[in-house]
Structure 1
Amino acid sequence: MKSALCLCLLLLGLQVQGQYGSNLNAEQQEQKIPHSPEDHSQTEGEKLGLVKIVPSNTDFAFQFYKQVREEEGNKNIFFSPLSISTAFTMLSLGARSNTLSQLHKGLAFNLTEMEEQEIHEGFQRVLQMLNNPHQEVQLSIGNALFIDDRLKILQKFLDDITNFYYSEVVSSNFQNSAEATKKINDYIETKTQGKIVGLLKNLDPDTVMVLVNYIFFKGNWERPFNNLITRDDEFFLDAKNSVKVKMMHENKDFNIHRDEKFSCWVVEIPYKGNAAALFILPDEEKMKQVEDALLEETVSNWIQSLEKRKIYLDLPRFSISGSYDVKRLFKKMGVTELFSDQADLSGVAEKTLLKVSKAIHKATVDVRENGTEAAAATVIEAVPMSAVIPPPPHISFNRPFLMLIFDEITRSILFMGKIMNPAAEEH
């Protein structure tokens, strides 16, 4: 049997903080993806698709997180589940038979509850809504397909990836590996505004197509922390070890919830615009219990139970990144055929056997006083008012915690992570 030619997937999630730089990116997206914040003209299919894919995307995020946790142990975790699910769902347009079934199952799509068309219409709507350049947070998500000049892509596949996923299609000469690698790295560097440079080190000699998905997010807190009171403090890695961190402080109202069942605090910190960060602080020695409870239903209950309460909040300042071999993780999740010589991607190209040889994901986050994309927060229990008003509780994120960054309009989880050591070197 003729060995399959290779497809490489590069999946990126990036948050940076600050005031400069993303206007050009927003303008490029505005030209590319139609949007309207109150789009009443959207089709019923788009509406239904959006409603149906969000719970599946959330379930996928937590399933992928738990797989990463098995590999990473006590290391920091940070990734963009939406970047990964968007890329593989786009690729599923060209998958057939058991390869397609495995992909749907791995991405948490139940085809007895939704039609395949609804999945793609749902992602189409998510992309339209997230790429609105008029929102206060600076957020863009996009796709690109670099295709070898010799590969004859089926017109149906090209039409679908451009219609549903607004993918750019870039002709490339993969016979000149160095030139193709540079073109792809230059594209990534441009789309991440210089924050991710030289990601792709080399290409498999048989590579004929590379799919890139990126999410770029820059957000400012609705109410920034005062950097004049940030000070050195301890972050406790465990009962015996600690590291020095820059700890931010705040004394104001936050939306919070105390979950007694899972022994954790939940705090929401909003960004200017339609995004928010959700921080989960497990009680001591309760991290695994909280991680095991991560389900779409659990997080929905947390969000619905949030109540405004004044608290003293301590939150570490940090910058971390995560890099993951998605191919290896997906195979552990039961998605195996896509990466083997049995892969059926016959809906992609004419008379060409394809398989995925590499799928890598990198995400970075920077949490500062004026804003970030993934931050720690502190949560506190709301207590009934009485004649004697108690002082605001003091909750400190000075031990490992979880975080989610989500878009409030689509309810999509943009980024997810676990901070075990905010002073750790990026890996």
Structure 2
Amino acid sequence: MKTTFYMSLLLAGLHAVAHGQLLPSHHNGHDTNEHIHHAHEAVACLKLVPNNADFAFQFFKEITLEAPNKNIFFSPVSISTAFAMLALGARSTTQTQILEGLTFNLTEIQEKEIQEGFHNLIHMLSHPEGGVQLNMGNAIFLTEKLKPLKKFLDDAKALYQLEAFTTDFNNPMEAEKQINDYIERKTHGKIADLVKDMDPQTVMLLATFVFFKGSWEKPFKPEHTEEREFFVDPEMTVKVPMMHQTGRFDLYFDEELSCTVVRLHYNGSATAFLVLPAKGKMKQLEETLVKETVQEWSEHLFQSLVSLYFPKFSISGSYEITNTLSKMGIVDVFSDQADLSGITGTPDLKVSKVVHKAALDVDERGTEAAAGTAAEILTLSIHPTIEFNRPFLMLIFDRDTNSTLFIGKIVNPTITS
């Protein structure tokens, strides 16, 4: 009988939140050596880009099948990172399944390259250009009697910035409090009570988190926000605070997928794609969305003067994703076939549960704008209105690493979880 190990993935995404100043860029005044190091990191990251994107959209398809007509919000890069780290301690078929489940072709890329790529990805995402705050981290909570191999801990610390803690899982309430307090602190209070109903048999818990806080490059004015109708489905309409601004935006009308794409930038390196399918076309979009689709949108965007309405909302997604990952080929690690002997030196360990939680806040401003006034003068002409008043997708990318940070499907913006 294998000892079980509970894995928890958590993250908070705070988007365009109106509290507090963000930190200035860490990249001012770099010398040549730092630029060279940055370039090397970027190259290592870029090897992962196509695979991480494929994983993101495959996972999205699976989750939408499991939760049709519901809000969805998750961070593909967080899930990929956690499982790449787990692969460090996996051996034989278990390791192969994890890496292939993350969509890597092991005849084209070696495990060592994958690990180096994730190490550099974490480093780059944790030191973003000014205007975006993005913290990633990993923690492992271990029962006192479980002694992980020094090599695993050293490698995981060096590659994944892993923090390790001793935990008494025989006292589930105390263990839950320790883990939840740590998570809440690391996600600035955004994610609370992630872990509950813990199995006293748990010997190890792996937690991964992402915390993102961004501010719109073109903020919305709060005085222009008004309550408007949002059409959840043909039978249900809700009232939502709808932000509004008129200006030049990057747009694309995808005739094949019957959807309108609007791209909004955050200050710094993050970008959001807001995707509004025509009525009744969401399912078609969900089933066909792949990384090439987003690439095509990027290449065909054009600037146009529009009147944009976009809801102000907060949602979170919480998932037990063991089943989803099993469908994607990651099977043995959850069974008595698991070989995680690279973690403890013995093969008697398996993952019992994987929990993933993500949260998203969207509002008008982000950081408070600096003093100074710039009036945008617009010609008084008839310009199209784009109103996100029915279910839509929101994809958030990091431009420096081409990473899919978050994927959201907002069916009903008044439901927060």
| TM-score for the superposition, normalised by structure 1 | 0.88
Aligned-residue sequence identity (percent) comes to: 49
Q: Which residue of structure 2 lines up, in the alignment, with residue 402 of structure 1?
A: 393
C-alpha displacement of 1:411: 0.9
Query: Distance in 1 between the 2:210 and 2:181 partners?
Result: 16
| Structure 1 partner of 2:107 | 112
Query: 1:127 maps to which residue?
Result: 122
**Aligned 8 A contact 2:19 2:366 in 1:** no
CA distance 1:103–1:285, change in 2 (3 Å): same
Report the more deviating stretch, 198-207 or 171-180.
Answer: 171-180
Q: How far has the Cα of 1:20 moved from its partner?
A: 3.1
| CA 1:244–1:47: 2 relative to 1, 3 Å | closer
Any conservation in 2 of the 1:5–1:354 contact (CA below 8 Å)? yes
Conserved? CA contact 2:132–2:266, under 8 Å: yes
Q: 1:85 aligns with which of 80, 93, 99?
A: 80
Q: 2:50, 2:34 → 1: CA distance?
A: 22
Note if 1:40 corresponds to 2:40. no
Instruction: Give the distance between the partners of 1:107 and 1:77, measured in 2 at CA.
Output: 20
Is residue 287 of structure 1 aligned with residue 282 of structure 2? yes
Q: Structure 1: which 5+ runs fail to align?
A: 31-35, 373-388
Residues 296-326 of structure 1, C-alpha deviation per residue, up to 9 Å, x if partnerless? 1111121122222211111111111111111
SS in 1 for 2:47: helix
Name the residue aligned to 2:249: 254
Q: Contact 2:321 / 2:354 at 8 angstroms: preserved in 1?
A: yes
Return the letter of the residue paired with 2:122.
L
The one-letter code matched in structure 2 to 1:4 is: K
Query: Which residue of structure 1 aligns with residue 412 of structure 2?
Result: 421
Distance 2:68 2:101 in 1: 22
Q: Counterpart of 1:209?
A: 204
* 1:352-363 aligned within 5 A: 353-363=348-358
Alignment coverage as a number of residue pairs: 399
Once the two structures are TM-superposed, the CA of residue 161 in structure 1 deviates from its matched residue by 0.8
Is the 1:49–1:120 contact (alpha carbons within 8 Å) kept by the matching residues of 2?
no
**1:302 is paired with a residue of what secondary structure?**
helix
Q: What is the Cα deviation at residue 49 of structure 1?
A: 3.1
5 Å-filtered alignment, 1:187-336, equals 187-336=182-331
Matched residue of 2:344: which SS?
Answer: coil
- Within 1, Cα distance between the matches of 2:254 and 2:128? 36
Contact preservation (8 Å) 1:96, 1:346: yes
| Pair 1:259–1:390, CA change in 2 (3 A) | farther
> Who is 1:20 aligned against?
20
Equivalents in 1 of 2:340, 2:43: separation in Å?
27
- What is the CA–CA distance in structure 1 between the aligned matches of 2:33 and 2:121, rounded to whole Å? 11
Larger deviation: 155-164 or 246-255? 155-164
In structure 2, runs of 5+ residues without a counterpart are: 27-31, 368-379
The one of 63, 66, 83 aligned to 2:58: 63
Residue 413 of structure 2: SS of its match in structure 1?
Answer: coil
Report deviation, 1:48.
Answer: 4.2
* Partner Cα distance (1:15, 1:399) in 2: 22
Contact 1:21 1:193 in 2 (8 A): no
Deviation, 1:93, is: 0.7
**CA–CA distance in structure 1, aligned partners of residues 166 and 119 of structure 2:** 24
Query: Matches of 1:157 and 1:22 in 2, distance apart?
Result: 35
CA deviations over 1:4-36 (Å, ceiling 9, x no partner): 11211111121232333877xx99xx9xxxxx9
Name the residue aligned to 2:402: 411
Residues 22 and 193 of structure 1 are in contact (CA less than 8 Å); yes or no, is this contact kept in structure 2? Answer: no
Q: Equivalent of 1:98, from 80, 88, 93?
A: 93
TM-score by length of 2: 0.90
- C-alpha distance after superposition, 1:81-125 (max 9, x if no partner): 111111111001111122112212221111122111111111111
1:94–1:347 CA contact under 8 A, matched in 2: yes
Asked if the contact 2:22/2:132 (under 8 Å) is kept, the reply is no
Q: CA deviation at 1:282?
A: 1.0
1-side partners of 2:18 and 2:58: how far apart?
Answer: 32
Q: Which amino acid aligns with 1:19?
A: H
Is residue 8 from structure 1 mapped to residue 6 from structure 2 by the alignment? Answer: yes
Give, as a single letter, the amino acid of the residue that structure 2 aligns with 1:103.
I
| Contact 1:95–1:344 under 8 Å retained in 2 | yes
SS of equivalent residue, structure 1 residue 121: helix
Is 1:72 aligned to 2:72, yes or no?
A: no
Residues 143-162 of structure 1 aligned to structure 2 (within 5 Å): 143-162=138-157
Cα distance between partner residues in 1 of 2:235 and 2:33:
50
Q: Which moved more, 1:184-193 or 1:105-114?
A: 105-114
- Distance in structure 2 (CA, Å) of the matches to 1:367 and 1:262: 26
Q: Is the contact between residue 129 and residue 269 of structure 2 (CA under 8 Å) also seen in structure 1?
A: no
Higher RCO by CA contacts (8 Å cutoff, separation 6 or greater)? 2
